[in-house]
Amino acid sequence: MVAGKRYLGATVDEEEKAKKCLKVIDDFMYHLGLSTVGDAIPALRWMDFGGNERAMKKIAKEFDHVLNEWLEEHKTGLSAKATNERDFMDVMISILGDTEIHGFDADTVIKATAMAMILGGTSSTSVTLTWALCLLLNNPRTLKKVTEELNSQVGKKKCIEESDLSKLVYLEAVVKETLRLYPAGPLGAPREFTENCILGDYHIKKGSRLIINIWKIQTDPSVWSDPLEFKPERFLTTHKNIEVKGQHFELIPFGSGRRMCPAASFSLQMVQFALARFLHSFEISKPSSDEPIDMTGILGMSYTKATPLEILIKPCNL
C-alpha cells in the first residue's frame, strides 16, 4: 500500500530484497526502543557503551538506502502508471513535487512519511498476530470456540470476506484481550509538556517528557479481574462496551487523544481479517502437547516474542 511492493511469487532477487527489507525494519524497531547511556548523561554519549548508537546509525543508513531505491523506482515509473494503480508514494510525489516543508525537501518528507507508516503498520500488526496465536495455542478451549464460531457464522465451504467480520464477535473479543495483555507498544509514545502544570499532586515543568505505561494500565487489578489471565469472555460480559479506540482509558493499546494511532480502525480490521482467514483455513497445534508456548518477550519500540513461534498446521477439511 505504501510502496507498491508485493513479494508473493517474486523472483529470487526480489525475495532477497524482501528479506533484507524485513530485517532492516526489525532491527530498526528494536534499536528505536533502546535507551542508551547518552540519553541519560549526554556528556558520555561519545563513549557509546555497547555500540548501540553506532548500530543505530548503520541501520538508519540501510533503511534510507532501501527508501531511496523505492523513491527512484517510483519517480521513473510514475508517468506510466494508471491513476488507480498508484500507491502512497506515487500520490505523495504527485502532490509535493519540488515543494519544501519546514526546510526539508520533498524527497526527505516522502521517505520519512513512508518510513513512519511502514514501521507503524508492519511490526505492530505482525507482533499482535504472533501473540494472538501464542495465546490461542496455550488455551485450546478458546481456540476451539473461535473455530466453532468461524464454522457456524461463515461455514466451511467459502473463504472469509471482510463483510463476515461483524459476525465474529468472539474472535473480536480474542483480539481485544490480546491487545490488553500484549499491546504492541507497551510504553506509549512520549509526550512533552508545553507549559508548567500540575498532574495529580505533581508539579510538572515545561519541557518534561511523559511516557505512559500502557501495559500497567491494562492489567490494573482494580479494573480487571484476574488481570494477567487470558479471558476473552470478559469482552462479552463485564467489559462488553469497552472499545480500544482511545475513548476508554482502561484499554488504550493505540493510545488516546490527538496523538493516538491514526490507523487504529484499519489495524483492527487487518488483524481480525488475517487471524480469521488463517484459523478458518488451517488447523493449528503446538509441536509438543506437553510444553506451553514460551511467552517471553523482548521490549524494543514494540514488544516482540523472544523466540520464533513454531506451530504445526494442516489444511482444514472441507
CATH 1.10.630.10 region(s) of the chain? 120-315
* pLDDT number for residue 140: 95
Per-residue pLDDT averaged across 150-175, rounded? 93
- Measured between alpha carbons, how far is 83 from 119 in angstroms, rounded to an integer? 26
* pLDDT number for residue 78: 61
**SS3 of residue 5 by DSSP:** coil
Task: Write down the H helix ranges in 78-192.
Answer: 88-96, 106-138, 140-153, 169-181
Q: For 209, list phi and psi in degrees, rounded to 5.
A: -115, 140
- Give the end-to-end CA distance of the chain in Å, rounded to a whole number: 32
* pLDDT number for residue 164: 94
Question: Which tens digit of pLDDT belongs to each residue from 73-125?
Answer: 888 876 556 556 788 899 999 898 888 888 999 999 999 999 888 877 877 88
Q: Which residues of 297-315 are buried (b: 16+ CB within 10 A; e: fewer)?
A: beebbbbbbeeeeeeeeee
Locus of grid cell 511516557: 211
Under the banding of pLDDT at 50, 70 and 90, the label for residue 231 is: very high
Residue 173 clears pLDDT 90, i.e. is over it: yes
Q: What sign does the dihedral 190-195-199-203 (CA atoms) show?
A: positive
Residue 7 clears pLDDT 70, i.e. is over it: no
* CB-CB contact of 233 with 164 (8 Å): no
Residue 275 clears pLDDT 60, i.e. is over it: yes
Per-residue pLDDT averaged across 125-130, rounded? 92
Residue 9 clears pLDDT 80, i.e. is over it: no
* pLDDT number for residue 146: 96
* CB-CB contact of 73 with 114 (8 Å): no
Q: For 303, list phi and psi in degrees, rounded to 5.
A: -100, 100
* pLDDT number for residue 80: 56
Measured torsion, CA atoms of residues 123, 169, 259, 257, in degrees rounded to the nearest 10: -160
Query: CA angle 82-122-127, nearest 5°?
Result: 155
The helix-helix angle for 88-96 and 52-77 (nearest 10°) equals 80
Under the banding of pLDDT at 50, 70 and 90, the label for residue 10 is: low
* pLDDT number for residue 84: 64
* Residue 88, CA distances (Å) to 2, 69, 83, 91, 304 in order: 5, 15, 12, 5, 27
Locus of grid cell 500502557: 214
Per-residue pLDDT averaged across 239-255, rounded? 93
* pLDDT number for residue 41: 86
* pLDDT number for residue 85: 76
Residue 50 clears pLDDT 80, i.e. is over it: yes
Q: Share the mean pLDDT of the chain.
A: 88
Task: Name the least confident of 3-17, 139-153, 192-206, 238-252.
Answer: 3-17
Under the banding of pLDDT at 50, 70 and 90, the label for residue 195 is: very high
Residue 14 clears pLDDT 80, i.e. is over it: no
Residue 318 clears pLDDT 70, i.e. is over it: no
Cα Rg of the chain (Å, integer) = 22
* pLDDT number for residue 263: 85
**Which class would CATH give 120-315?**
mainly alpha
